[in-house]
Structure 1
Amino acid sequence: MTGTILLILLVAGVLVTGRIINGMAVQMSERVITQISQYHYRLLQAEFGRSEKVLAVAAQFIRTHPAASETELQVLASTLTEMDPKVGRIWFMEESRQTLRSYSRGGELQVPAPGEDLRRQVARMPDDSVRSRVNEQVWSMSCRIRDSRGAAHICGIDLPLQEMYDYMAEQNPHSRSYAILLDPEGMIVYHPNPQMLGRPANESSGFEAFREVLATGRQTITYTVSEYLGVDEERIYYPLQLGGRRWVAGIGIPRLAIEQDIDDFHFYTILTAVISVLFFATLLIVAQRRWRREYDLRRLSEQESAQLHLQQVLEQIDPHFLFNSLNSLYALIRCNPEQAREFTLTLSKVYRHVLERRKQILSTLSDEIDFTWQYYSLQKIRFGDRIELTTAIDPALRNWRIPAMSLQTLVENALKHNRITGRNPLRIRIHTEGESLVIENNYTPRSEGNAESLGVGLERIRSVYRFYTEENISISSDAEAFRCRLPLLPPEK
């Protein structure tokens, strides 16, 4: 029972701990989402910061080299595109002359496509803008500078949007998040879906969150359905400074990616809990079996000890019976020698029966009633009409058992402890009640103490019951009667 209670407490502790761990798992998932988004955000900062640095280096070169040759500009463009693989083209234009020189990756001078008036586009474009070129969307970053002679120049770089996203994806191929980037006007510059590039933000792409971050400069968390993946996601919007203006980067983390980790965490937590419970249950079973073996050994030892004690008591039966009988014979010799001789002959027959049953611990109720009547006939010689015995036994219980010679012992005690006279005869009644045997007699105790009573008989009866059953004899008395109840033991199978 103690082990079961401990097991229940362990299971309850595991359940409570599981709830705590579940709360910790939720907090952990939030931290993981924050860490993933911050990592992706810092990656965007670093990459676009490198693009700004490329533009700054190009502008500084034009500022210090107002009359740079074609070769110098080609070398510069080749070097700068190596610094930032996202840059698809670098271009320079002197505003007074409307001269535009454009260099693609590797420093190759680029000729405008038919119908493409780059000079007019450059002159009108803001410092950062998304524009369409032939078959592609391009993000242009530019700045206006004056050289050492005071001439005005426009210097810029073009980042093809699709190539830029492909390059960024290669830098973090195993990322569980994706990013979008919106310029200050709400134009989508960076998005995993090519069809969204160059389009204005809408409600599905987080326009409300974009406006909030643009206005406050603080990050914002939204829960939405990804228009790119079509699954629930948590999207965190961050402010991003580019070209002196505030842009907005949105980092989307699909819930599926995090929930898979949480499910794995729960699985291993449950597995650990189950293993712990099974391990404890195994230890409990082993301990219970060991305790059971020790208990059986202890019970065997107690039984052997009780049996030894019982044997010692049984060894006192013969002297006890003979001692009491000789006392009765002594008293009878003094008052009636003739009855004493008859008592001696009857005693020899009864004592022979005692010797035959001396090793018997339990006896059937039928045998005990018969032996009690033999003993009663012995005492009848001494007391005559001053004693009377009656029995009423249920025939169905005659094969049930009681300690051997227990009835004789109780009848003998009644003779020893009561005043027996012609006016006050001793009436003993033996009958069954339920599964018990009741011995009762009228109670007229002697005024003087009975020095002959050694208590051996009752102790022997109690010892037998302690050995065979949890029940024991019960004794009660009042002013009129003395009663003793003996439990009946089932017949031997």
Structure 2
Amino acid sequence: MARQRHTPKGRLLITGTVLLILLVAGILTAGRTINGVAVQMSGRIVRHISEYHYRLLQVEFERSEGVLDASVQFMRERTAPTDAELHVLAATLMRMDPKAGCVWFAEAGGRTIRSYPRGKTPRTTEAAGDFRQRLIAATDGDSVRSHVTGSGRIQVWSMACPVTDRTGRRHICGIDFPLPEIYTCMTQSPASSGYATLFDPEGVIVYHPDSLKLGRPASDSTGLAAFRKVAATGQSVTVHAISDYLNIDEERIYYPIQLGGRRWVAGIGIPRLVIEQEIDDFHFYTVFAAVISVLFFAVLLVLAQRRWRREYDLRRHSERESAQLHLQQLLEQIDPHFLFNSLNSLYALIRCNPDQAREFTLTLSRVYRRVLERRKQILSTLAEEIDFTWQYYTLQKIRFDDRIELTSAIDPALRNWRIPSMSLQTLVENAVKHNSITGGNPLHIRIRTEGESFLIENNYTPRSDGDKESLGMGLERIRSVYRFYTEENISISVGDGTFRCRLPLLPPEK
């Protein structure tokens, strides 16, 4: 039998099939791991959702306690408030909490209750026949008392707290929260993936997403056993139940809440459908991300491998160039000889012209302050460079008087274009340093823009003892900056007794 030979196309197909099998096997293996993680996630999802609802419920009902605290503080600070003042206080407190339906006041041992219901006329009722009688009788000391009772056909959660005013008289401040108002306020919250139930210490349902259960006692369907355990121990309890509200499986967590000086219980229910949906989404996006990542990595690996070495070499070169530029910039600041000559000029001016000496000192300080501020700055705008150079020229003018002259002609549209920092000052300093300046041969320096370039010219009469090496170092620093930022570079020419240097202008910073 002849030996079977594989064509390049067949080998590619075999290789692709093997890679596909390996990819599927990797995804299946990752799937098992993901399933294990998903099981752990389901518990965390339940906990996070329930804690979110629990915190919202706690904040909402703590606000109700805050309203009562505000009324107590008012009565403690006031002596015999008028009915008008109490009316205004009640209206203000009920604006603070939309769940509040009525604010009321009574004197300890008194027979009447002054109540201020929301949107209704204030009224006075006999304490003996009021539904708040049990709550008033239970108040003692300075502790808050609360109770759910009936006011006609409406169940009401009432809170009351005794308070002693400045004259020593004792009053009772109370607030009523009709359960339908609580239901209306709480159901206006944004839709979420769970629901909450709130029980008072006696097990009466104060809030439930099903309005028909308001005011009813806890039952097995609403978690009677869990309620008793949390009320007795103060510890949260997690149970698996069938929701009589949604008629589906759910995870339910019961938390203790301190309200009205007593321990209440909040039950947070999270349907299993929500958890399963979260896990399914997690599975889908994880697998999808894994597949895309593998394919994307396989494609990029071949392309990136060719660029890694080149980018590495370029980065190393850029780092070396940047380090060199920074070092050269620090080394190529204003020449120490300039400082020496400036101090000599200052010494002479102090003796012959003190006013001009003071001006010279201030200008010298501004020049060196600018140097310190810009010593780490590689590029500057043309306007900044010209301004700095004119300050430097002012010092030289004091030194050389009419033997030096600087003129400029700058296109205003190019003032924000950039050149290497201190490059213009360096060229002006070189012109001063390397030319013979006398009364019969003054130095004329001209700076101007030409197209997208910057040109500096000066008459060239080199000194016999000029420092050519220093000139080369200054220009090399400028060349290094241009090599770092652009392919253009400076051009220098000497002819007909004129030194010319052309600097390319770099576009403004975006």
The TM-score range, normalised by the shorter chain, is 0.5 to 0.7
Q: In the alignment, does 2:41 pair up with 1:31? A: no
Q: CA shift at 1:122, angstroms?
A: 4.9
Name the structure 2 match of 1:213: 230
Within 2, Cα distance between the matches of 1:121 and 1:251?
30
Match of 2:241 among 224, 248, 251: 224
Structure 1 position 158 matched with structure 2 position 176: yes
Q: For this pair of structures, how many residues does the alignment match?
A: 281
**Distance change (3 Å), C-alpha of 1:281 and 1:120:** closer
Higher gyration radius (CA): 1
Is the CA contact (8 Å cut-off) linking 2:131 and 2:149 kept in structure 1? no
Q: Provide the residue aligned with 1:481 in structure 2.
A: none
Name 1:353's counterpart in structure 2: none
Superposition map of 1:253-292 within 5 A: 253-271=270-288
Quote the offset at 1:279 in angstroms: 8.9
Q: How does 1:72-151 map to 2 (within 5 A)?
A: 72-105=85-118, 108-110=121-123, 117-118=130-131, 120=133, 122-124=135-137, 127-151=145-169
Equivalent residue number for residue 69 of structure 1:
82
Once residues 158 and 230 of structure 1 are traced to their aligned partners in structure 2, the CA distance between those partners, rounded to angstroms, is 33
Shift of 1:131: 1.0
SS at match of 1:67: coil
Q: For residues 42 and 174 of structure 1, do their structure 2 counterparts lie closer, same or farther at Cα, with a shift above 3 Å needed?
A: same
The answer to whether residue 36 in structure 2 is matched with residue 18 in structure 1 is no
Change in Cα spacing, 1:123 to 1:271, as seen in structure 2 (3 Å) is closer
CA distance in 2, matches of 1:73, 1:212: 42
Distance 1:64 1:98, change over 3 A: farther
Which residue, out of 235, 247, 258, partners 2:264? 247
| TM-score when normalising by structure 2 | 0.51
Q: What is the distance in 2 between the residues matched to 1:261 and 1:165? A: 28
State the partner residue of 1:450: none
Give per-residue Cα distances to partners, 1:374-404, cap 9 Å, x unaligned. Answer: xxxxxxxxxxxxxxxxxxxxxxxxxxxxxxx
Residue 168 of structure 1 is matched in structure 2 by 186
Distance 1:8 1:83, change over 3 A: same
Query: For the structure 1 residues 231 and 204, does the alpha-carbon distance in structure 2 shift closer, same or farther, using more than 3 Å as the test?
Result: same
**Structure 1's 163 and 262: CA in aligned 2 closer, same or farther, altered over 3 A?**
same
1:206 to partner: Cα distance: 1.1
Partner Cα separation in structure 2 for residue 251 and residue 191 of structure 1: 10
Q: Give the aligned residue type for 1:157.
A: I
In structure 1, how many angstroms separate the alpha carbons of the residues matched to 2:294 and 2:169? Answer: 82
Distance in 2 separating the partners of 1:161 and 1:269 = 45
Structure 2: which 5+ residue stretches go unaligned?
1-13, 140-144, 301-510
1:7: which partner in 2?
Answer: 20
SS of corresponding position for 2:157:
strand
For 1:110-163, what per-residue CA distance to the aligned partner results, in whole angstroms no more than 9, with x for missing partners?
A: 4669x9635645544662111111332111111122333333322111111122
* Cα displacement (A) at 1:199: 1.5
TM-fit CA distance, 1:234: 0.7
| Cα offset, 1:26, TM superposition | 3.0
Amino acid of the residue matched to residue 158 of structure 1?
A: D
Aligned to 1:47: 60
Partner SS, residue 208 of structure 1: helix
CA-based RMSD = 2.9
One-letter amino acid of the structure 1 residue matched with residue 166 of structure 2: S
Q: Distance in 2 between matches of 1:189 and 1:119?
A: 17
C-alpha spacing 1:41/1:168, structure 2 compared with 1 (3 Å): same
Which whole-Å CA distance do the structure 2 matches of 1:105 and 1:195 have between them? Answer: 23
Residues 11, 122 of structure 1: alpha-carbon distance in 2 compared, 3 angstrom cutoff:
closer
The 1:97–1:12 alpha-carbon spacing in structure 2 relative to 1, beyond 3 Å, is: same
Residue deviations 1:197-223 (CA, integer Å, cap 9, x gap): 111111211111112222222211111
Q: Is the 8 A contact 1:77 1:106 kept in 2?
A: no
- SS of equivalent residue, structure 1 residue 101: strand
| 1:187 equivalent among 204, 215, 223 | 204
The residue type paired with residue 105 of structure 1 is R
Structure 1, unpaired ranges of 5+: 284-493
